Amino acid sequence: MSKITVGFEVPDFEILSTSNNSFKLSQFKGQNIVLYFYPKDDTPGCTREGQDFRDLSEEFKRTNTLIFGISKDSIQSHEIFKTQQHFPFDLLSDENESICQLFNVIKSKNYGKDAKGIERSTFLIDKNGVLYKEWRQVKVEGHAMEVLDIAKALD
């Protein structure tokens, strides 16, 4: 798979999802998709980001936009996180990093040792499956509202 680029169709992919579902991008044609990548379930920044998307989820629905969070955590971890935080959207599990690689969100992090992890990033895919906008090196504060404002422009 090649990397995705703004203005081009996102290649179809299938991945495990919470709620005993399988997420396949092509099944959502006709709806806008927010795909937000986050480093780890149940950590402060990732929890806050998910809560912000949760709190705006009804407004996103009114713009024909669905939300999905994605990290390398297992489905079991996602189910617990989703339940604890009352997320009305599914979380996607990319344990083998294939979708992370497609979206180029795996970055080197140096916390006293060399490690790789997900760089907090969000992608807005329009109803035709085309990448409309991307946000990289996301700061959580105000981010979900910024994404919603752009989604409203798509509606």
Give the number of other CB atoms < 10 A from CB of residue 53: 24
The C-alpha angle 75, 86, 138, rounded to 5 degrees, equals 75
- Look up tokens 């992919």; give the residue: 13
Q: In the annotation, is 46 catalytic?
A: yes
Side chain identity at residue 55, one-letter code: D
- Look up tokens 């997420």; give the residue: 23
**Catalytic option among 10, 34, 46, 99:** 46
Q: Alpha-carbon distance 91 to 132, whole Å? A: 21
Backbone angles phi, psi at 50, to 5 degrees: -60, -40
User: Catalytic site residues?
Assistant: 46
